Amino acid sequence: AGLLEGKNIVIMGVANERSIAWGITKSIHREGANLIFTNRQERSYKKLLKLLEKHDITPKLMVSCDVADDNSITEAFGKIKEEVGVIHGLVHSVAFANREDLQGEFVDTSRDGFLLAQEISAYSLVAVTKAAKDLMTEGGSIVTQTYLGSERVIPNYNVMGVAKASLEASVRYLAEDVGKRNIRVNAISAGPIRTLSAKGVSGFNEKASVIEEKAPLRRSVDQDQVGDATLFFLSDLSRGITGEVLHVDSGFHIIG
């Protein structure tokens, strides 16, 4: 039997075939999970429907959810509770910042741009954890996606680096809160991967080529590698781990 046989897992953030969340979907489907998807945009919903058809995957449920809106989160998890009942895992693969804040100098970040990046990229994990924990009555695992720009200054990543630092600190505080319910909260810190969101960050191609040059494994990371690492966090194999940030970056972060 698969590692996630009979487990109900919510996946937030599949925009298209390149999305990290799609890599995760393939890994956890392979291991027998029942899949519940949330989408913000109608456009993403239609793309996802096609993708699922193409790969012969039948979702258990698809609901719309805009993490910027508390009512939308309440409605989405209400629907999940109604239709599915208990959930065992949640994949948070969502972030956003204005394009003008992902270039030039961080010092020029506007108040609104700063707050928006924090809201969608960090607070959203707090809000969905609050909603999901009541459905995780058999224990559970929550996994989010972060990036090295939280720990180091990476050119152009700017406001998103600060939001990812906030996300990683949120992982630790949330892990403490929900640990008593046997719910774990962890993050994957992936190397740069070509996706829709990555296109918004100036100079992204250079970042990817530095990994191929300097990382111990001398190759870039792909969605499937992040998918398998996320699968580990969602499965019982990682039952002793919470509040952790695991780098899936060909080892790049250890190189000075």
Q: How far is CA 208 from CA 101, 126, 143, 223, 253, in A?
A: 20, 30, 24, 14, 13
**Is 123 one of the annotated active-site residues of the chain?**
no
Determine if 19 is a binding residue for ligand 0WD (CB under 6 A): yes
Determine if 196 is a binding residue for ligand 0WD (CB under 6 A): yes
Determine if 203 is a binding residue for ligand 0WD (CB under 6 A): no
Q: Which region among 3-11, 34-42, 100-108, 169-177 touches ligand 0WD (by CB under 6 A)?
A: 34-42
CB nearer ligand 0WD, residue 84 or residue 208: 208
Considering the candidates 45, 123, 157, 173, report the single residue annotated as catalytic. 157
CB nearer ligand 0WD, residue 57 or residue 236: 57
Determine if 27 is a binding residue for ligand 0WD (CB under 6 A): no
Q: Is 241 labeled as ligand-binding?
A: no
CB nearer ligand 0WD, residue 61 or residue 137: 61
Q: Is 183 labeled as ligand-binding?
A: no
Q: Is 13 labeled as ligand-binding?
A: yes
Determine if 68 is a binding residue for ligand 0WD (CB under 6 A): yes
Q: Is 48 labeled as ligand-binding?
A: no
| Distance separating alpha carbons of residues 207 and 169, to the nearest angstrom | 24
Paired strand residues for 190: 248
Judged by CB under 6 A, which of 84, 198, 210, 241 binds ligand 0WD?
Answer: 198
* HEC profile of the chain: CCCCCCCEEEEECCCCCCCHHHHHHHHHHHCCCEEEEEECCHHHHHHHHHHHHHCCCCCCEEEECCCCCHHHHHHHHHHHHHHCCCCCEEEECCCCCCHHHCCCCHHHCCHHHHHHHHHHHHHHHHHHHHHHHCCCECEEEEEEEECHHHCCCCCCCHHHHHHHHHHHHHHHHHHHHHHCCCEEEEEEEECCCCCCCHHHCCCHHHHHHHHHHHCCCCCCCCHHHHHHHHHHHHCHHHCCCCCCEEEECCCHHHCC
Min dist CB 74 to ligand 0WD, Å, is 14
Determine if 101 is a binding residue for ligand 0WD (CB under 6 A): no
CB nearer ligand 0WD, residue 19 or residue 118: 19
Determine if 197 is a binding residue for ligand 0WD (CB under 6 A): yes
CB nearer ligand 0WD, residue 100 or residue 236: 100
Contact set with ligand 0WD (CB under 6 A): 13, 15, 18-21, 39-41, 44, 65-68, 93-96, 120, 145-147, 190, 192-193, 195-198
Active site amino acids: 147, 157
